[in-house]
Structures are given as C-alpha cells and as structure tokens.
Amino acid sequence: MNPPCTGLSYLVRQEGHAGGSPYPLRDGMVAMKPFEEFPDPLKKSIRYVLTDIDDTLTIKGRITSFVFSAMERLQGAGLHVLPITGRSAGWCDHIARMWPVDGLVGENGAFYFRYDSSRKKMVRRYLKSEEQRKKDRTELEKIAGIILEKVPGCQIASDQSYRETDLAIDFCEDVPPLPMEQVEQIVRCFEEAGARARISSIHVNGWFGTHDKLTTTALLFEEVFKVTLEQVKDRVIFIGDSPNDGPMFAYYPHSVGVANLLRFRDKIEEEPSWITRERGGRGFVEMADILLRGRAE
C-alpha cells in the first residue's frame, strides 16, 4: 500500500529520525537532502531550471500567481525555465506562447516547442513525421478500446483531443483515484501492444517510439542552446514529483523532488538528490526562493 499523502513532516515522525536524513535508504541509494541545504556555490552555477508541470507547478490542479511569479523571477535572474511534461501538444502550444518559459518538451518527449518572440514564430520540433504520427494515432485508438474494456474506472484524459502522438489514460484527474494495481494494468495493456508507457501523478501515457523526455530535452539543448546536455547537466536543476520523472532524477546531479513525491516512494526507482519541505507549486516556489537568494548573496 502507498504511504498516505501527508508529506515530509509525517515521514520524519513515522521514521523516528531525530537528525540527519529523515529518508530511509534502499540498497545502493543516496539520501535525499532538504533543498534548503543546497550549497551557495552551486546556486550560482545553475543556468537552467527544468520542471515537470502536474503536481510540481500545480497545487490541487491549479497554478497560483506565486508559481508564475517564481518562474518570472528565475527568468529575470538570467535562468532558462523549461517545463518537461506529458501534457498535450495543444496545451504546450499555449504554454510556449504565453507562459514565462524559454520552451518546453511535451507529450513525454514527442516534441519540443519554443516561441521565438524576435521572429514572432512558433518552433514546433517533432521527433516523428506527420504521416507517422497519424499512423500511430490509429494504433493508439485500438489500444484505448482495450484499456477501457479491461480497466473499469479509468477514462481517456480530458486533453486527448489536443494530443498529436500519445494516448493519455486518466486514473486520477477527472475520475476517482484508481488503486495502483489497476494503474499497472493500464501500463501492461500498452506494453502488450508494443507501446511504451509511463505513469504520471494523474495519467498513464503510452506511445510508440524510443523517444522520452530526456532524449528530447537533449535534442532541445543541442538545437536551441547549441550545447550538449551532457556538458551542462551540472548547471541544470530538474524538479518533479512522480515515477515518470525517475530517469531525470537519476540523470541530473541536481535533481529535486517536491514533497508530494513521497507518496510514490515505493514505486519510484530513482530518487532525486534533493527534496523540498513544501508540496506541489509551493515546493517549486520554495526551490526558486532558495536558489535566487543564494545567487544574490
């Protein structure tokens, strides 16, 4: 059973740690440290803030003015802010155009979008051709039928109409939360049909192809910033909240979880290096405040 969603203070109490890391370790794992201990010299070296959206920027499904303000303040300090999300192409078009961001990766790495304000032009960089995306959608529709039949209680995600490349199954956003066993059954349906699948905090996303959030982020860095991600990964902060952020937590030396990550502790294979005290968007603001304060000093 998952631990209850009661955050850091609960775990500190439950685990009975009076000092040091409150997070017990699995074999071979390094403890997550409170982000407030992030060293000042590292704060000054950070150039990129990569962030998940759902339950990392949001609080109960919404983004507060404090979160937008934190993103603006990060940009104002010269940092590049880039959401890395499973959200749909339609949403990402809006985000790239209107949010305080420098671009974003969407649909779990199927593309990156960037609004070039100097040329007033939207850059949409897909990994697959339009023809291939159309073929994939036909196959994914068949998988959707199988999942809806086999897993009662889930539904097609509300943003599916605006997706170009993947199928999102809602298990927690607009439906009552499903038990993890059924969420895993959705994943199996995708995999049996030859698709990849990832669990976010609200959806299971499935798609065809080898791309993922990390590979497409690397492509964005090469094509937009003209650097390899590997060269600059120690100048990146990645912040997220759920198992589908695991590969990023493992890759970036300065990965951060917001406190609600703790509800997935028995499902996540790679934990971040750091964790915030606060949950969701409040955790993101906490990270931004600590980072900016240290850079100013």
Buried b (16+ CB within 10 A) or exposed e, 85-112: bbbbbebbbebbeebebbbbbbbbbbbb
Show the tokens assigned to 184.
């895993």
Q: Mark 20-59 with x for binding to Mg ion (rule: CB under 5 A) and - for no binding.
A: --------------------------------x-xx----
Whole-number Å distance between alpha carbons of 68 and 99: 8
| Cβ 149 to Mg ion shortest distance, Å | 27
| Cβ 264 to Mg ion shortest distance, Å | 10
Cβ atoms of 270 and 246 closer than 8 Å = yes
- Rule CB under 5 A: choose which of 88, 160, 201, 276 binds Mg ion: 201
Q: Of 165 and 244, which CB lies nearer to Mg ion in the complex structure? A: 244
Decide if residue 102 touches Mg ion (CB under 5 A).
Answer: no
Q: Of 242 and 273, which CB lies nearer to Mg ion in the complex structure? A: 242
Decide if residue 260 touches Mg ion (CB under 5 A).
Answer: no
- Rule CB under 5 A: choose which of 164, 166, 212, 241 binds Mg ion: 241
Whole-number Å distance between alpha carbons of 208 and 186: 15
Decide if residue 271 touches Mg ion (CB under 5 A).
Answer: no
| Cβ 286 to Mg ion shortest distance, Å | 16
CB atoms < 10 A from the CB of 133, how many?
20
| Measured torsion, CA atoms of residues 16, 20, 1, 182, in degrees rounded to the nearest 10 | 160
The one-letter amino acid code at 210 reads T
Please name every residue paired with 14 in a beta bridge, in sequence order, or none if there are none: none
User: Which region, judged by CB under 5 A, interacts with Mg ion, from 39-47, 120-128, 234-242, 272-280?
Assistant: 234-242
Decide if residue 242 touches Mg ion (CB under 5 A).
Answer: yes
Q: Of 128 and 249, which CB lies nearer to Mg ion in the complex structure? A: 249
Show the tokens assigned to 280.
């969701």
Q: Of 133 and 238, which CB lies nearer to Mg ion in the complex structure? A: 238
| Cβ 54 to Mg ion shortest distance, Å | 4
- Provide the 3-class DSSP secondary structure of residue 62: strand
Distance set, CA 198 to CA 23, 30, 213, 296 (Å): 25, 24, 11, 38
Q: Which residues bind Mg ion (CB under 5 A)?
A: 52, 54-55, 201, 241-242
